[in-house]
Structure 1
Amino acid sequence: MNIAKQKISIGLVNPKNPVNVASILRAAGCYGVASVFYTGERYRFAKDFNADTKAFHKVIPTVGVDCLRDVVPEGASVVAVELVEGATPLPSFNHPENAFYLLGPEDGSIGEDVLSWCDHVVYVPTYSCMNLAATANVLLYDRLAKSEYISGDALIRQSRDTNNKTKIR
């Protein structure tokens, strides 16, 4: 799988913390997410105080919208990631090729009104709830780990920080 050619978008339900959103943008850049949408006003007011150190916000469209249902990419399956009863555990979930992943707010949950129009609802089995950015990273890594992906030294050289030139001898 070519990470850069995937059909993945993320929708954030009223995110609160600009550092978490910046961390999601970094994960989005690492795992080939095409776009990030968000609802609510909290992030809009705080987004200038972000920590997107790789500046993925300049590459990945990050768009505030009134309703995430209105921006579901064409042909995408909507996958909510939330700790709700009846959800599918992420380790047993088969990711759709074209996915629009919805993540809830740091201090709340995705409402039943949104869950009702999702194609899938999954959860990360943990002993406590994770923060928003951690959830996005685990979700995107799980997708990659379950796919046939390109690996090797060329990918390592392309992906690593410019200060890292380490090799195993």
Structure 2
Amino acid sequence: MQLKKQQISLGLVNPKNPVNVASILRAAGCYGVASVFYTGQRYRFAKDFNADTKAFHKVIPTVGVDDLKDVVPTGASVVAIELVEGATPLPEFEHPENAFYILGPEDGSINSETLAWCDHVVYVPTYSCMNLAATANVLLYDRLAKSDYAKGNALIRQSRDTNNRTKI
């Protein structure tokens, strides 16, 4: 069983934690993300110490760039995910078919210059801010939950860990 090819890319603004980026790569692999771009030097210096246990970094292009605006995929709507006043709550957001999601750094925010060229700004309603990897997972799951997604035992068999053969 093959999952539908997604038109999703992620842009990470100066991520600092290689474990978070590795977790994002795992989520990207699970939810069909085509590519991941990142800015800044912090992850470049630390990326060799990653925790991408499924090795999705070998399958999903993970590219360091100077400016995310320069790599917006053709035809993609740019969606910033940030806790800023005036943003749309994620449960009310309708995901574009072709999306470039931009996520801010763990220890800061997406700057207003970047937010100005985004098509949408969305936030995840929580009682506190989540870390980068948690935000990416919630975002990608929300996109899946609102879509016409694949279901059934064939998908379960394809997706589960090799040590899991449980049936109900």
State the partner residue of 1:77: 77
RMSD between superposed Cα atoms in Å: 0.7
Asked if 1:156 corresponds to 2:156, the answer is yes
Contact 1:38–1:65 (CA under 8 A) maintained in structure 2: yes
Gaps of 5+ in 2: none
- Between the aligned partners of 2:150 and 2:136, the Cα distance in structure 1 is 21
TM-score, length-normalised on structure 1? Answer: 0.98
Q: Which residue of the partner structure matches residue 128 of structure 2?
A: 128
Q: Name stretches of at least 5 consecutive residues in structure 1 with no aligned partner.
A: none
2:110 paired with 1:110: yes
- The runs of 4+ residues in structure 1 deviating greater than 4 Å are none
1:7 alignment partner AA: Q
Q: What corresponds to 1:54 in structure 2?
A: 54
In the superposition, relative to structure 1, how do residues 4 and 28 fare at CA in structure 2: closer, same or farther (>3 Å)? Answer: farther
* Mapping 1:80-91, distance limit 5 Å: 80-91=80-91
Q: Which residue does 1:143 correspond to in 2? A: 143
Deviation at 1:4, TM superposition (A): 4.5
How far is the alpha carbon of 1:46 from its aligned partner?
A: 0.3
Looking at structure 1, the residues matched to 154 and 129 of structure 2 have their Cα atoms a distance apart, in angstroms, of 36
8 A contact 1:4–1:31 mirrored in 2: no
1:12 aligns with 2:12: yes
| CA displacement 1:13-37 (0-9 Å, x = unmatched) | 0000000000000000000000000
Q: Tell me if structure 2 keeps the 8 A contact 1:8–1:33.
A: yes
Do the aligned residues in 2 keep the contact of 1:78 with 1:102 (CA within 8 Å)? yes
CA separation in 2, counterparts of 1:4 and 1:60?
16
CA distance in 2, matches of 1:50, 1:98: 28
Q: How many residue pairs are counted as aligned between the two chains?
A: 167
* Cα deviation 1:85-122 (Å, max 9, x = unaligned): 00000000000000000000000000001000000000
